[in-house]
């Protein structure tokens, strides 16, 4: 059986789908999976060994150039390729109108959430079969349940495995016990103040760890450089392809991150991961994992570096005590 997964974005949502793929690989070894994803996240999807062909869309880029011939040529090429693959089933794991329209291009039966479960009920007009999955469940569990219903098995929700491992690659300057600080995030109200990142880096150095950080735009670069100025042992990784960052991240001892996709990736790698949530509710979309913890700032309050580093210490101890 040949199945196409449609989960185009964002990075966290893509990562939340991995446990469902892992379940399906265990319960349905007769199924092969391809995936359709935003071009920026193709390298993330490639981390799962059960995923075969990766089709990329560029909806974010296409929207900015809707009337260009190149946009329509790319969209037509995708449609042609999806139809040539002759899928037996498409699973739209996103439940949005845009993902449903992408799924439709494959000209194969589409399975997805029903109207009460989909994030955008209008998407269900394009599905051939729908399944009810409560919306008050974590995104990981919702997707695992959807795959089980669509492919005819019952996932074991008492366990959680992503099935991914870090890609090869490292930096010679990064050795010993490292703590990757993921300060960059998409919204201003999600960002922890630079003074707190500096304070965290100081506390980590006192505990014998090397802070590591990176950046993807000029504003993030200024934060990374500010941390390194005050805490000179900090290694600043230059702006790099996502796969290269994933390789360094995956070999870290500890990760402390804002509400951002790479924080979800760290927890999916099974790393001790502290997520700092300031403006969003982590209940249904926060990082999950045996060694993942989310700290949520109280309304009108703040999280201190001492609180975050103390939580990190707890997770590191848990990792040390866990069976190999």
pLDDT in tens, 4-29: 999 999 999 999 999 999 999 999 99
By the 8 A CB rule, do 169 and 243 touch?
yes
- pLDDT, one tens digit per residue, over 104-158 is 999 999 999 999 999 999 999 999 999 999 999 999 999 999 999 999 999 999 9
Beta-bridge partner residues of 6: 36, 92
- 269 has a pLDDT exceeding 90: yes
Superfamily of domain covering 2-151 = Glycogen Phosphorylase B; (3.40.50.2000)
d(CA 259, CA 296): 10
Q: Which three-class secondary structure state does DSSP give residue 193? A: coil
End-to-end CA gap in the chain: 35
CATH architecture designation of domain 178-321: 3-Layer(aba) Sandwich (3.40)
DSSP string, 248-267: HHTT-SEEEEESSHHHHHHH
- pLDDT, one tens digit per residue, over 40-96 is 999 999 999 999 999 999 998 998 888 889 999 999 999 999 999 999 999 999 999
CATH 3.40.50.2000 domain residues, the chain = 2-151, 178-321
What is the structure's pLDDT at 5? 98
- 262 has a pLDDT exceeding 90: yes
d(CA 207, CA 41): 34
What is the structure's pLDDT at 67? 85
- pLDDT, one tens digit per residue, over 211-253 is 999 999 999 999 999 999 999 999 999 999 999 999 999 999 9
- 323 has a pLDDT exceeding 90: no
What is the structure's pLDDT at 60? 85
- pLDDT, one tens digit per residue, over 279-300 is 777 888 899 999 999 999 877 7
The residue among 263, 302, 307, 303 whose CA lies nearest residue 285 is 263
d(CA 56, CA 65): 17
CA neighbours closer than 13 Å in the CB half-sphere of residue 94: 27
What is the structure's pLDDT at 278? 86
By the 8 A CB rule, do 259 and 236 touch?
no
By the 8 A CB rule, do 273 and 315 touch?
yes
CB proximity list for 124: less than 8 A, separation 6 or greater: 100, 112, 113, 114, 115, 118, 130
- Point out the least confidently predicted range of 36-40, 271-275, 314-318, 320-324: 320-324
Strand order in the sheet with 32-38: 51-57, 32-38, 2-6, 89-92, 110-113, 129-131
What is the structure's pLDDT at 173? 80
């Amino acid at each position: 059986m040949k199945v196409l997964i449609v989960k185009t974005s964002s990075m966290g949502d893509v990562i939340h789908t991995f446990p469902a793929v892992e379940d399906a690989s265990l319960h349905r070894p007769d199924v092969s999976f391809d995936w359709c994803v935003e071009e920026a996240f193709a390298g993330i999807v490639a981390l799962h060994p059960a995923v075969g062909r990766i089709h990329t869309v560029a909806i974010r880029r296409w929207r900015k150039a809707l009337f260009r011939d190149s946009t329509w040529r790319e969209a037509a090429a995708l449609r042609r390729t999806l139809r040539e693959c002759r899928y037996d089933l498409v699973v739209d794991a996103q439940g949005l109108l845009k993902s449903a329209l992408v799924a439709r291009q494959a000209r194969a039966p589409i399975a997805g959430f029903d109207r009460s479960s989909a994030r955008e009920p209008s998407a269900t007009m394009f599905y051939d079969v729908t399944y009810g999955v409560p919306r008050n469940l974590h995104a990981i569990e919702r997707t695992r349940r959807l795959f089980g219903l669509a492919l005819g098995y019952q996932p074991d929700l008492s366990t959680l495995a992503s099935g991914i491992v870090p890609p090869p690659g490292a930096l010679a300057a990064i050795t010993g016990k490292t703590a990757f600080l993921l300060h960059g995030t998409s919204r201003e109200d999600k960002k922890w103040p630079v003074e707190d990142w500096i304070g965290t880096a100081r506390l980590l150095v006192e505990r014998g760890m090397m802070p590591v950080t990176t950046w993807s735009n000029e504003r993030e670069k200024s934060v990374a450089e500010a941390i390194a100025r005050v805490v000179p042992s900090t290694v600043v990784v230059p702006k790099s392809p996502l796969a290269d960052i994933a390789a360094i991240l995956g070999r870290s001892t500890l990760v402390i991150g804002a509400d951002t996709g790479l924080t979800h990736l760290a927890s999916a790698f099974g790393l001790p991961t502290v997520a700092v949530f300031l403006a969003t509710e982590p209940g249904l979309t926060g990082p999950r994992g045996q060694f993942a913890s989310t700290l949520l700032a109280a309304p009108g309050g703040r999280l201190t570096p001492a609180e975050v580093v103390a939580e990190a210490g707890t997770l590191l101890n848990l990792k040390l005590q866990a069976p190999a």
